[in-house]
Structure 1
C-alpha cells in the first residue's frame, strides 16, 4: 500500500471535529494508515492526521515489543471511564519531538465498528486505554497541547516551534 503524509500541528484540519463514517469502502485507507503508522514508528494514527476528516483510527500497542496486534476502530464511542486519572507523558505523530503530560482515566469501555462491519464493545486499560483516548481526541479536533493550561501550553508550543525551525 502507501505511506501517507502526516499532518503537522498547527494544520487546521487537526482541530476539526470529524464526521461519522457512513457505508464506505475503507480497506485501502486502513491499509495505508497502518503502513503510515508503522513507518512513523507510532502506535496509533487517526484519520484526521492524514487529512481524512472521518471518525476512525488504527492502533497497535504491542508491535514495538515484537508482537503485532493491529486494531481498527470506526465510529468509536467511549461508553465509560475509570474515575481515577493518571498523568503520563504523551507523544504525537502530528507534533513530533515533543512530549506532553496528559491526565487521562486509566481504563475505558469503548464501542466501535470493526473494518468488517461488526460492532464491538470492550474494556481497555493501561497503555491501550491511553492510546484509544489519544486517538479519540483527534477525532474531536483535540491535540495534546489542548490538555495544558495556558502557561504550560505556551512553553511547549515554543519548544515545538524551536524544534520545527531546526528541522526545516
Structure 2
C-alpha cells in the first residue's frame, strides 16, 4: 500500500511539516481522527505482534496450491509490478517452507517498500505469486515495527465500514476513497511458521486488508463506488496504455469494460 505524501502515514512527513498539516489540512485531520496510533512517528508502546495470540495449526483447503522451493527463488533487485500486469491477478500459492529463501524474500520486499515510500507490500506486487505480505505503519526503516504475515486469513471483521483515501504502489500517483471494515481478526503465520491470531484496527486494519486483497487477486479500485472510480478512470486507462507500449501486448484488462458494481458485494468478495 502506498503512503500518500498528504496523509498521516507518509514517509515524507517530517517533524517540521506535521504542525502545519495538523492546522491546515482537512485530509490530515481526517486521517488523524481515523487512525489509532500516535501522530508522531514513535515506536508503539505495545508492539503489534506482542499482542498476538499463538494458536495451533489450522486445516489447509484441499484445493489450495502449495508453493515449491522454486516459487520462492528470485533474482534481485525486485521491482513493483504495475497494473494491469496479469501477475497481479494470478493465483497465489500457500507457503509451507519456512527457510532462508522465505526470509530473503521478505527482507527484499521491505527494501522495495521503503524505497518506494510504501507502508505495505504483497508478494504478487513484486512478481512472486505466494501468500506473503509485509508492512510497517511508520514507513521508515528503523522506526515502527516490521510485520511479516504468511498465509493470512480473515477470521472476523467488524460491521462498521469506513472510508479512507488509499494509494497503491502498483498504481503510481493514484489515490481514492475505499470503504473497508474498521477492524478485523486475523489468523496468520510468522516468518518461522508459527501460527497466531491478532486483532487489527484503524490504519493497521486498512493496510492489512489492502495487501490481503492483493493475495486474493483483488485490486483496490474494485472496492470503490462507481462515482469514486470515475474520478480515477482516466489514470487507469493511462496505465493500460503504458503497459501496451512497454510490452507490445494488448492490455489484459480494460477499466472501460468493467461491469457495473453489483449491490451487496461483501468484504472479501470480488
State TM-score, norm by structure 1: 0.89
Give 1:100's aligned residue: 176
The counterpart of 2:157, out of the listed 81, 91, 100, is: 81
* C-alpha RMSD of matched pairs (Å): 2.4
Are the counterparts in 1 of residues 118 and 139 from structure 2 also a CA contact under 8 Å?
no
The higher radius of gyration belongs to: 2
Are the counterparts in 1 of residues 154 and 185 from structure 2 also a CA contact under 8 Å?
yes
CA distance in 1, matches of 2:94, 2:142: 33
State TM-score, norm by structure 2: 0.57
Deviation of 1:118 after TM superposition, in Å, equals: 1.0
The counterpart of 2:96, out of the listed 22, 25, 30, is: 22
CA distance in 2, matches of 1:94, 1:164: 12
Could you list the runs of 5+ residues in structure 1 that have no partner in the other structure? none
Deviation of 1:64 after TM superposition, in Å, equals: 4.5
More strand by share: 1
User: How many pairs does the alignment contain?
Assistant: 167
> Does residue 13 of structure 1 match 2:87?
yes
Deviation of 1:161 after TM superposition, in Å, equals: 4.0
> Does residue 136 of structure 1 match 2:207?
no
2:184 is paired with a residue whose SS is: strand
> Does residue 69 of structure 1 match 2:170?
no
Could you list the runs of 5+ residues in structure 2 that have no partner in the other structure? 1-75, 247-270
